[in-house]
Amino acid sequence: MTHRLEVQGLYAAMNVSDLKSSESFYTKVLGRPPDDRPLVTLVQWRGYGAAGIQLFEDAGKAGQGRMTLVVPDMAEVDRMLREQGLRLGEIQSGDFGKVAHIGDFDGNVVTFAEPPG
C-alpha cells in the first residue's frame, strides 16, 4: 500500500551569517517584519498561502540558499524594492513569464517569478 504524506504547510529556509542584518534585509524584501522568533537563531514569516519563510543564523552554511517567490506583478515588486533602497536584478521575459533575482549579504538568492499572462 502506498501512503501519501499530508502536508499542511511549507517553509523555505535560508541560512544567514548575521540574523539581525538579514532580518532587516528580508523585512524590506518581503514588505513586513517577521511574525515569529521561535529560537534565538530563527525568525520566520507566515501567511504566504500555506507557505512561510525562515531565516536561520548559521554562518557555516550561509550563502548557499535559493528561494523562488511567485508574484502576480513583477513591476510592482520592482517598485516596492526600489522604495526600500534595494535593486532587483534584470527582469527577464519569455514564454515562461518574467523572472528577476536579488541577493542578500551572504549570497543567498531570492528569485521573483511572474507567470505568463
Task: Give the largest CA-CA distance in the chain.
Answer: 54
Which of the four CATH numbers 3.40.50.2020, 3.90.79.10, 3.40.50.800, 3.10.180.10 does domain 10-114 have? 3.10.180.10
pTM for this prediction:
0.89
- pLDDT of residue 6 exceeding 90: no
Position 2 scores a pLDDT of 82
Q: Assign 41 a pLDDT band (cuts: 50, 70, 90).
A: very high
Q: Assign 4 a pLDDT band (cuts: 50, 70, 90).
A: confident
Q: Cα 76 to the chain's mean position, in Å?
A: 16
Residues 6+ apart with CB under 8 A from 99: 91, 92, 111, 112, 113, 114
Q: Assign 8 a pLDDT band (cuts: 50, 70, 90).
A: confident
Rounded distance, CA 68 to CA 113, Å? 7
Position 34 scores a pLDDT of 98
The number of C-alpha atoms within 13 Å of 57 and in the hemisphere containing its C-beta is 13
